[in-house]
Amino acid sequence: MPTDTQPKTPSGWQTYATMDQLTQIPATADENRDEKAEAETYRKIYLDGTDIIKQPLSDCHIYTDVLAFTQDEIILSPGEDTAVEINARVLTADQPVHLNMSKAGAKSCYILIYAAVVDQPIRFSIEGSQMIPLELGVESDNLGAEIDFQDGRLSVSYTTKHDYDATPVYQAFLDTQLRIALTLFWSKPAIAMSICSYVAKSTFSADQLAAEKTFEEQYQRFQDKGSQVADQKTAWTAMLKNAQNQQSTRLDVQVQTLAKYQHAYNTAEACSKQLSDDNEGLRHAQDTFQNGLLAWKNAQILKAVLGILSAVFGFASGVASVCIGDNPVGNATTVEDAIDEVKKAEEASEKIIFNAAEKVVSLPAGDSVDISNLENISGDDGTDTDTSLITSMAAWDDWELECDQQMEWAADDAEPTPFTQWTITLETPENIDLSTLGKIQLHWAGKYRPY
């Protein structure tokens, strides 16, 4: 398999990873690091693993087409029982790499590496002792190596096959590898074949291994300048047919994917339209409800105001009717006479108090005092007054108290009189929408009974 067209340094592989053909491939990278769970996962086309393996979390997984080491000596300081798994087609560096494990990290941990191409020699040791080289790469039949550190001892074991684990992240890694191989099938055939070989060995697929071997032989024949033209045509025909089959497969997948997407899009569009229509209907219902509620509220307020005013003025009219009676002029005369009598009683009371004061002042030193009794009170001699006037004044005061109590009862419990028009002043009209007001219903507030 020709490998001379593949890069051999980190900078060369980094340039390869940034090719336009590769940057247009979707979903080629993913990274998840959870320090609380002590787990981390990295998936990329090109990854600098120097800082990651220096002090990895307890569960570390790396999936990359190219893993680069940018230092010639890397001190490894993992925690106890740390497990590191590296899945990389290429391990690259500018010079030989020494992975030096600390004594603390060598108590209990292991590193599992799967790789097909190793650009520079790699060695493991425990603080410089027990130096062991890593035997992976094109010249080796090994596909993977497990480096164990246990109780300060270092051991390495190798495998020629991959312990395939069909996890979602590993499957995504293989899918990315195959997409790269298809993209570089004509422009970078050496890299494409290397990727296909690595994927085939990693997944133990007999059909994929046979296809990769057949393609490699056809490519070798096509590249052999000493071959006959007929052989080159045969090889070209086989390669062209393979490419056409690959293209047909991709087209079928694209058509199916587009149909599923179109169906999902139409469904989502219909749901969105239905939701929009429902929201519009709800909005109209809300507006109608709010307007009706506001109109009802305003009507209740006006009804309450009218009821209160009708009750007050109705009671006042009743009191006036009782006082005036059927003969308003005669009743008015009676009221004026009563008022005159009250005035006379007040004047008589003042005289009684004044005369009593004089009597008290003129009392002799002995026990004999001449004080008028109730039978002699007549108001004729100027020293007493008429009992009828005193009684009339007391009765008038008592009547006033009763009128106040009756007015208070009417204000609290009287029913409003209908068919009465009132003028209402609103203290805060800006808080009420009167544009749709047809009528107003008012309610009593505070201690008054609602109507």
The three-point CA angle 115-222-161 to 5° equals 20
Residue 13 backbone phi and psi in degrees, to 5: -70, -30
Distance CA 32, CA 43 (A): 9
pLDDT at 262 over 90: no
What pLDDT does 419 receive? 47
DSSP for 195-238 reads HHHHHHHHHT-HHHHHHHHHHHHHHHHHH-TTS-HHHHHHHHHH
Token output for 345: 């009683």
What pLDDT does 423 receive? 65
What pLDDT does 1 receive? 40
Tell me the range of 123-132, 200-209, 280-289, 352-361 where mean pLDDT is highest: 123-132
* Angle of the 387-413 helix axis to the 328-361 helix axis, nearest 10: 130
What pLDDT does 223 receive? 58
The average confidence (pLDDT) of the chain is 76
User: pLDDT tens, 318-331?
Assistant: 555 555 554 444 44
Does residue 106 contact residue 125 with C-beta atoms inside 8 Å? no
Mean pLDDT on 106-126 = 93
User: pLDDT tens, 393-421?
Assistant: 666 667 667 666 666 655 555 455 554 55
N residues, the chain: 451
Band of residue 34 on the pLDDT scale cut at 50, 70, 90: very high
Does residue 76 contact residue 109 with C-beta atoms inside 8 Å? no
Residue ranges of domains in the chain: 1-223
Mean pLDDT on 379-388 = 52
Q: Write the CB contacts of 377 (distance below 8 Å, at least 6 apart in sequence).
A: 384, 385, 386, 387
Q: Write the CB contacts of 50 (distance below 8 Å, at least 6 apart in sequence).
A: 68, 69, 70, 71, 74
pLDDT at 429 over 90: no
What pLDDT does 185 receive? 85
What pLDDT does 383 receive? 47
| Helix (H) and strand (E) counts in the chain | 9, 12
What pLDDT does 217 receive? 64
pTM of structure: 0.49
